[in-house]
Chains A and B, each alone.
Chain A
């Protein structure tokens, strides 16, 4: 048993006699540290899990995309010392899912070696087998796609390419490291399995399908340890140059002179897009997602610990004030200033240690659950969940240091107290008219039930401010939580209601013809159809560039509206290009400026365009041109990559089948699909917001409970006298409630605007690492009302224990002043 001295004994017993208050603060600390430990440990676990998966599956270190390249070029690369090279053929097809509506799904076919496992970026087989030896019609499917379409090893899948339809057997379910996150492109990071998938097929079959016998259009390179990467890439570029590649692009490119590019256009330049692993699409998206998690791991605890520090500062200040006689006694007995200061710091130390230890342990449990959930969501094959001792130590350290720091000022005030003055009762405050009585001269004429609370609020401004801070904190956290729901709702509302007026987007195979839109428009049941053309481009100015996809649409399109930042609409113009605000901000351009457009693939050279307008698009924002201008820029006259379609009412299965059967059509993406996808994803979002609201409520109650209790206990004698002279419990409770509601009103007035600012800050921080998306905090008016109402509820609930205590206290004891 640990021996403690009487000072420590006093500490523990003082805490025990106010265990609810101290416990509430410790709970706030625990929540903050649990959030940090749980989320940060998850971030570390996931980071390790991802890297382990990439290592085990030998994910490539560099990736090259070209139009075509002979396989011998890949063999030459493979012969470079320390380099492993694997060529693939990648192309788009459509899948006939054999449904009543003739539903087609757009799919990206990725080739894998027929008779051996890949040297670079291998797959792991979850169920079934790898391809059988020999020339078999087999495919491997990723788990999420297979689950969505209820496909298992042994089932068959019909692939349409051109005029042919071929049935393939599902050999197995496999996870590929380059497709942990399946997306069509950087501009369309979210793809639903309903309309898009990636499937793996033996290389020979894919070569035949796309007429690429002996050719590849994608190469993965893996380097041994110690390889000089830059030199090796130069060697690879020399090989590519020998095979006709003249230009090399990457995710972040330097500006090349327009003059040089014009010559390139004349000569027809073949381009290779080369990215290191960090910029590979799936890797990059997962990294950004993980970065968001890391930022959340830091931001939320800062908020919680900041509020805990404030609560401790106020709580200890009150404690020092209430124990001034004991402090005077300690000094009179001969306790030094340091011992007195240390005594009060120890309160914070105990709260901090207790709260942070519990929080750290809870955080470990949370980390395990969160890691497993996240990894399961992606069907990550290798999950590493290990105790993160470093995170635990940091959590306990920070969770202890912050409260101790918050306690220093009140503890210092206690040590500085003059012993004689400390033991004298404080002089009663001088009577004076309060600020509110000066401002509103009719206050003295009000009924006591209004007059007393108003006077009390302004007679003790520090006390009132502390209470208001508690309510403000709750309002901020509730509003931030609700803003996440509002943001998603606004995003889907914006996309589906304000911008998207089409019922479906018909995706063509590769680059098709704009005349497909005319054919579709003439089908019975179709109200209108508009062609559009997308091409991957880089928008540049100086050293800054943004890889994106430029879209050509009809001027004054009835299918898609371009929304300006102030909420109005605009249209594409022959005079130039319209940019989304996140690109204009990144490049530092405004309307009237000139930007440079560089294709990411193909042989068209660079050109320039004047910015004629700015639009606000929350997801997948892209630049826009008139369709004919885009066709001219891309050197694709009469081309289209997809068609917006508007139906008369609900399209019949026969109509959809007719569209699916059109030769150029790869798939149909119905506008409702995105809403369905968002609804499916919202489950996790609602759970997260629910947890955040619960935490907000808990935090708010802990802070407000502390404030109300201290507030009421400070005035026990005053209240006891009021009861003694005949005021009823109900009247007393009403006066206190009115005062608390007035204080809550102040807290809400400050908390709502503060909540908006915090939500904005969080949103900006979250999207800072995501290149193609920009989110601003969206908070609907109803959320402000909900936050205000919930804050009031928190106040009313938190005051209940204190009011009960007041109405049951022993009048003789309190008026005598014994029960300190």
Chain B
């Protein structure tokens, strides 16, 4: 598999979908100051599959949260799809997350008292003209399990519901924080295959955070973080098919 031609074209001719300018995030706990992000600048192009790698505490999740508007940087600017996220009010930030971002979490974060279909609809209810929950669940291979509750499904199935939910509002960016972190190896591969297929078919920007280095092989670009800074950016001219992943 090679880098998608759309991505290449976008890089060469278009505007980045996500742009971070000198973004820092500092946590103060009494006299102690923790720089979770330290002057990060980067651009992400439409259709890119990005993997953020780094050890625990390197700032990967914080970076995802800042991009997704879940957290605000202490300084710097974040622009997503032309929207200056850092300048948004709380209310507008909510709308931004609703329409532009789809989150996938390590522990799925499904509502335990809603069925698979209802969990997807839980997000879809927020927007007009949304994809149908049935179609989304079919697309992630859970057409037969719509009426089951999360406790009745496996980890992989739960994560697929979470992915379907993230797609329910048709976002331009999908942010995935350790999506295979609580899954076994084979199931994890299935999830990455799904994410990769969605990225290629729907041209959605996919940002995946992981501490598992081999996963970087399926990305268009791998951005390594260390101590809140970008340590390295590597372009994969020939990203690996998820089926071929080994870790």
Residues of chain A whose beta carbon lies under 8 Å from any beta carbon of chain B:
5-7, 9-10, 13-14, 16-17, 325-326, 328-329, 331-337, 418-420, 423, 818-820
Among A13, A334, A423, A819, point to the contact of B114 (Cβ < 8 A): A13
Q: Pick from B15-23, B51-59, B92-100 the stretch touching chain A.
A: B92-100
On whether the beta carbons of A335 and B109 are closer than 8 Å, the reply is no
Tell me the complex Cα distance, A329–B125, Å.
14
A333 pairs with B103, CB closer than 8 A: yes
Q: Smallest CB-CB separation from B122: which chain A residue?
A: A6
Residues of A within 8 A of B113 (CB): 9-10, 13-14, 16-17
Contacting pair B94 A335 (CB below 8 A): yes
Question: Which residues on the B side are within 8 Å of A328 (C-beta)?
Answer: 70, 109
Among B59-96, those with CB < 8 Å from A are 65, 68, 70-71, 90-91, 94-95
Contacts of A326 in B (CB 8 A): 109, 111
Partner of A6 from B91, B125, B127, B169 at Cβ < 8 Å: B125
* Measured CA separation A13–B99 after assembly (Å): 27
CB distance from A423 to the nearest CB of B (A): 7
Alpha-carbon distance A7/B122, docked complex (angstroms): 7
Give A338 Cβ to nearest chain B Cβ, in Å: 9
B169, chain A: closest CB distance, angstroms? 7
Task: State the CA gap A336–B151 with chains docked (Å).
Answer: 27
Which residue of the partner chain, among B65, B91, B114, B123, contacts A333 with CB atoms under 8 Å? Answer: B123
Min CB distance, A414 to chain B, in Å?
Answer: 14
Smallest beta-carbon distance B209→chain A, Å: 13
The answer to whether A819 and B151 touch across the interface, beta carbons within 8 angstroms, is yes
The answer to whether A335 touches B126 (Cβ under 8 A) is yes
Chain A residues lying within 8 Å of B125, measured Cβ to Cβ, are 5-7
Known: A10-B113, A418-B71, A423-B109. A333 touches B118 (CB 8 A): no
Q: Is the CB of B103 within 8 A of A334?
A: no
Q: Can you list 20 A-B contacts with CB-CB less than 8 angstroms, sorted by A residue number? A: A9-B118, A10-B113, A17-B113, A325-B109, A326-B111, A328-B70, A328-B109, A329-B109, A329-B111, A332-B97, A333-B103, A334-B98, A334-B99, A334-B123, A334-B127, A335-B94, A419-B70, A419-B71, A423-B70, A423-B109
Q: Name the CB-closest residue of A to B97.
A: A334
- B121 contacts partner chain A, Cβ-Cβ < 8 Å: yes
Q: Check B114–A10 contact: CB distance below 8 A.
A: yes
Complex contacts, A325 vs chain B, CB 8 Å: 109
Contact B94 A334 (CB under 8 A): yes
Q: How far is the CA of A14 from the CA of B98 in the complex (A)?
A: 24
B105 at the interface (CB under 8 A from A): yes
- B94 CB contacts on chain A under 8 angstroms: 331, 334-337
Write the chain B residue with the least CB distance to A418.
B71
The answer to whether A818 touches B114 (Cβ under 8 A) is: no
Task: Give min CB distance, B85 to chain A, whole Å.
Answer: 13
Contact A333 B122 (CB under 8 A): yes
The answer to the question of B112 belonging to the interface, with a C-beta cut-off of 8 Å to chain A, is: yes
A333 to B126, alpha carbons, bound, how many Å?
8
Within the complex, which residue of A13, A334, A423 is in contact with B126, where a contact is CB–CB below 8 Å? A334
Residues in B with CB closer than 8 Å to A819 are: 151
List residues of chain B with CB within 8 A of the CB of A335.
94, 126
User: Complex: how many Å from CA A13 to CA B65?
Assistant: 30
Within 8 Å CB of A336, what residues of B?
91, 94
Contacts of A6 in B (CB 8 A): 114, 118, 121-122, 125
**CB of B125, distance to nearest CB on chain A (Å):** 6
In the assembled complex, the Cα of A419 lies from the Cα of B94 at a distance in Å of 10
